[in-house]
Amino acid sequence: MAKLNQIIALIPGKKNRGKEVMERTYHIYQKPAMFEGIARKYAPKEEGGDALPSEQHMPQMKVADLVRDVRAAVGDLLDVVATQDAANCTAKASIVIDGKVLLADVPVTHLLFLEKQVRNNADR
């Protein structure tokens, strides 16, 4: 099982990947011609008439492929963030100064808040 610090290290990369995939999908979606295709076969109207060549243009993208890419990228991000949130619910520590326990079993989110308060006050 991954440690909380390992999960936290993964989040920025997953966020960037999700953002890139969403932006790419948005830009592709703005070009409807990429999803259009055509297949035409010409037959002369009368025997011995002009024979025109067949025409075929395949779609360059499929909506299902875009949805799959977005689902994978965003799904990975959601999984990692959910793992972090679950770990934050169970992660606790005690604040000990000079061997004396000031606060016992403090949730990690509150420890982060306290750290921020100490840093803000130290900067003054």
For 34, residues 6+ apart whose C-beta sits below 8 A from its C-beta are 28, 59, 60, 61
Average pLDDT over residues 15-19: 94
Q: Does the structure show a pLDDT above 90 at 72?
A: yes
Residue with the larger pLDDT of the pair 50 and 56: 56
3-class SS of residue 97 = strand
pLDDT of residue 89: 86
Residue with the larger pLDDT of the pair 48 and 99: 99
Question: How does residue 121 score in pLDDT terms, banded at 50, 70 and 90?
Answer: confident
The pLDDT tens digits of the residues spanning 81-115 come to 999 998 888 889 999 999 999 999 999 889 989 99
Domain ranges of the chain: 4-90, 92-124
Q: Report the amino acid identity of residue 97.
A: I
pLDDT of residue 18: 92
pLDDT of residue 68: 94
pLDDT of residue 15: 94
pTM, to two decimals: 0.63
pLDDT of residue 67: 94
Give CA–CA dist 20/14, Å, rounded: 10
> Chain-wide mean pLDDT for the chain?
89
Give CA–CA dist 93/107, Å, rounded: 7
For 18, residues 6+ apart whose C-beta sits below 8 A from its C-beta are 73, 74, 76, 77
Q: Does the structure show a pLDDT above 90 at 44?
A: no
